[in-house]
Copies of this chain bind each other. A is one copy, B any other.
Amino acid sequence: MQSAKDSQVRPQLTDRQDPVLPERIARSAAELRGESVEDITAWVQRRRKEVGFKVRRIPFEELDGWSFSPETGNLVHRSGRFFTVQGLRVSVGEQPDRTSWHQPVIAQPEVGILGVLAREFDGVLHFLMQAKMEPGNPGLVQISPTVQATYSNYTKIHKGADVRYLEYFTDPSRGRILSDVLQSEHGSWFRRKRNRNMVVEVTEPVPEHEDFRWLTLGQIHELLGHDNTVNFDARSALAGLYGAGASFALHSDTELLSWLAAWRSLTPITGAPVSLADIPGWTRDEYSIHRDDERYFRVMAVSVRAGNREVREWTQPLLEPNGLGVVAFLTRTFGGVPHVLVSARAEAGFSDAEFGPTVQCVPRNHGHLPAGERPPFLDLVRSAAPARIRYSALHSEEGGRFLNAVSRYLVIEATESEAPLKEPPGFRWVSRDQLAAFTRYSHYVSAQARTLLLCLNTLEVQRAGCGATRRSS
């Protein structure tokens, strides 16, 4: 069946799985060369001062280019692009266990790029991280991916400034892909939003720029121990790096995928757009759209004004949660293999349920409930003894859309009596490495679980004794 011409073509086959990447990742994670974490945070502080942005709450009527559509009541930009705040009627589950509610939600169908450039220096992988301003971030400037670009950005529809280093992510021939997957974003606030999370390695020299630094994974892990320092997009993009790891676990991969499939079947998520002007239980005033009982979040508007160096200025809507969140994994080690207790999370904006944290909520929304009706494991997580807290830091979510959406991210060591081997409904023990493997595929691991996965990987290094001396508590 082979023609003469075919026999001349002798393509080289390649390993389906990169056999050396896990070792290279581990080496970068163990490496703290270069600037100390104090120097890096000082650089971020310096950038905060230099750019000198001011973010100010404004009434909706001071928004420039944004308005409430007379037809739909939705908050839209006159260009028809960026994003829209619309109303949504959501149902999760099947009768008789279906739950339905109304809420505002951000719709943004285009797929953005969250890209981190990687390069080896002296045999160690480094990652090009940016000190970038986003109006909703505490501190405004945080450590961010090399590139955060919307489709409009990268096709230059808006004729804005070119996005620096973007070409490495849009032209595959410029580098080698280490990870690349469309991931869901925050499903309680975004409807079906997904971004392309990429890590691309280059071998050629890359132009330098004062807003960017090459950091090892060890340095990034250290920075993750600091509050509000590494932004959401960086955490999400880097979470895709970790390898398949230990080949044993409490449950097989098939069992876990089956468990998620069952939850996906039981909790189908359907959403119908409704007018933002007409959401039961929500009121719009001069400054915000909020629930009458002040729970969950509000839609509001800000003006962003640059200081000395830059000449940018704009207004935009943001979503603001009503309090500090708690996002936590309970962890136990079985047969030497670290596991975390994942939940099956069906959020309003998801296509289907995803693996999520053990606990994810704003406790204030549940404060009125008796202990038995509060989210499972929340009280355990909040009252954990310091010796059980293996990781704790504040992180904020996507600062281009959310104002002060800060949660305490925790990894808590649990006992059999607290978190038994035989899981309660809606929870499963998943090894850290299984979670990493599932993160290679779209819509399996939620935004908050991806942050926790990255934090879990910082613990590995800590345990190996690297970086302990430098690590801040």
A interface, CB within 8 angstroms of B: 1-3, 5-6, 9-18, 94-95, 109-111, 113, 151, 155, 157, 172, 177-182, 192, 194, 196, 198, 246-255, 257-259, 261-262, 264-265, 268, 270, 332, 334-335, 337, 351-352, 387-388, 413, 415-417, 421, 431, 434, 440-444
* Residues in B whose Cβ lies below 8 Å from that of A388: 1
User: How many Å from the CB of A336 to the closest CB on chain B?
Assistant: 9
Q: Is the CB of B11 within 8 A of A265?
A: no
Q: Kindly list chain B residues whose C-beta atoms are within 8 Å of the C-beta of A180.
A: 254, 257-258, 261-262
Chain B residue contacts of A94, Cβ below 8 A:
110, 151, 155
Interface centre among A17, A262, A444 (most CB of B within 10 A): A262
Please tell me if the beta carbons of B182 and A264 are within 8 angstroms of each other in the complex: yes
The answer to whether B16 and A247 touch across the interface, beta carbons within 8 angstroms, is yes
Q: Is the CB of B182 within 8 A of A265?
A: yes
- B434 x A387 contact (CB < 8 A): no
The answer to whether A18 and B254 touch across the interface, beta carbons within 8 angstroms, is yes
B258 touches A16 (CB 8 A): no
Indicate if the CB atoms of B16 and A416 lie closer than 8 Å: no
Give, as a whole number of angstroms, the nearest-CB distance from A126 to chain B: 20
How many angstroms from the CA of A352 to the CA of B193 in the assembled complex? Answer: 12
Contact indicator A6/B416 (Cβ below 8 Å): yes
Q: How far is the CB of A169 from chain B (nearest CB, A)?
A: 10
Report whether A11 and B250 are in contact in the complex, using a CB–CB cutoff of 8 Å.
yes
Residues in B whose Cβ lies below 8 Å from that of A3: 415-417
Contact A413 B1 (CB under 8 A): yes
Determine the chain B residues whose CB is within 8 A of the CB of A258 once the complex forms. Answer: 172, 177, 180, 198
List of B residues within 8 angstroms of A110 by Cβ: 94, 268
Name the CB-closest residue of B to A253. Answer: B16
Give the contacting residue for A15; candidates B181, B252, B334; CB below 8 A.
B252
Q: Nearest Cβ in chain B — how far from A306, in angstroms?
A: 29
Q: A196-B265, A387-B1, A416-B9 are in contact. Are A248 and B177 (CB under 8 A)?
A: no
Assess whether A334 is in contact with B155, with CB atoms less than 8 Å apart: no
In the assembled complex, 21 residue pairs joining A and B whose CB atoms fall closer than 8 Å, in A order, are A9-B421, A10-B335, A11-B421, A13-B334, A13-B335, A14-B250, A14-B252, A15-B248, A16-B247, A17-B252, A94-B151, A95-B157, A110-B268, A113-B265, A172-B258, A172-B262, A182-B261, A196-B261, A198-B258, A264-B442, A443-B443
Closest CB-CB distance, A354 to chain B, in whole Å? 10
Output the least CB separation between A261 and chain B (Å): 5
Tell me the complex Cα distance, A1–B254, Å: 31
Write out the residue numbers on chain B whose beta carbons fall within 8 Å of the beta carbon of A109: 268, 270
A113 to B387, CA, bound (A): 46
Report if A248-B441 is in contact (Cβ < 8 Å); known contacts: A254-B177, A351-B351.
Answer: no
- B15 touching A265, Cβ below 8 Å: no
Residue of B nearest to A256 (CB): B16
* Shortest Cβ distance from residue A199 to the other chain B in the assembled complex, whole angstroms: 10
Residues of B within 8 A of A16 (CB): 246-249, 252-253, 431, 434
| Contact between B11 and A334, CB atoms less than 8 A apart | yes
Cβ-defined partner of A151 (8 Å) among B17, B196, B265: B265
How far is it, in angstroms, between the C-alpha of A13 and the C-alpha of B95 when the chains are bound? 37
With beta carbons under 8 angstroms apart, the residue of B9, B181, B253 that contacts A17 is B253
Contact residues in B for A172 (Cβ distance below 8 Å):
258-259, 262
Distance (Å) between the CB of A194 and the closest chain B CB? 8
Contact between chains at A17 and B247 (CB < 8 Å): yes
Most chain B beta carbons < 10 A, residue from A6, A178, A421, A440: A6
